[in-house]
Amino acid sequence: MEIQRKSNLGCLMMLVAILTGCLSRPNLAPQSFTFSAPDEGAHFPPTGKTKDAQKGAQHSNDVLEIKKITVAAPFAGQSFVYRTGDVSFEQDPYAQFLVSPEESLAEPLRECFRKSAKFSAVTEPGSAQRSTLSAELTVNELYGDFRDRAQPAAVLAIRLVLFDSKSRSVVLEKDYSRRIPLKARTAAAVMAGWNEALEQIAGEAVASFRQGGGKLETK
């Protein structure tokens, strides 16, 4: 029993040592984070228009519903995941999402599309407002990359599938990814990198559309 306890303690200390090597930690107090909505006008519209021009831009007649967000199994837990080698990953027991990654992403994504001035409305599942377009998103990568200790980064990759809500025909299917260099070796810096990546990806997704006669069309 005593041997087993010592073995478990040794494993825990080894994990802490590995994670401490990835991050700079002032203490080991647990921290909780969440994705946040973009600042007003940030990265929108991606064509470089000013905020005043954006305010004057006409929305399309489309109502977009963010129907489903799925996070790939290796990154679906609340604990932050760090890549330490080509095929090795570690979970951080001291840094986690406040809610599941799917829940954390949902409202910021809606806000990104609302602020893009490309839709008349952006809704959630169960809304009484009928959508004309439905989006399903799959997060394939969500981790802090510490393989290169000199150049750590936050990595986010999302696959977007956009459907016509009535016919269920695919309007757009595209992969988006970002790798944001970290400003510090901390969990907070990883979260800041993910937020920046999400903002850029949403801006690129919006750029995948153009308005034509009040109806949203793919490029």
pLDDT of 218 reads: 54
Question: For 2-218, which CATH superfamily applies?
Answer: ABC-type transport auxiliary lipoprotein component (3.40.50.10610)
DSSP 197: H
* Predicted structure pTM score: 0.80
The stretch 72-84 carries a mean pLDDT of 98
Please state, in angstroms and rounded to a whole number, the distance separating the CA atoms of residues 50 and 73.
39
pLDDT of 15 reads: 47
Give the tens place of pLDDT for each residue, 175-205. Answer: 999 999 999 999 999 999 999 999 999 999 9
Please state, in angstroms and rounded to a whole number, the distance separating the CA atoms of residues 162 and 136.
6
Domain ranges of the chain: 2-218
* Averaged pLDDT score across all residues of the chain: 83
Give the tens place of pLDDT for each residue, 134-175. Answer: 999 999 999 999 999 999 999 999 999 999 999 999 999 999
Range in 25-34, 50-59, 94-103 with the lowest mean pLDDT: 50-59
Torsion angle (degrees, nearest 10) of CA 16, 22, 28, 32:
-120
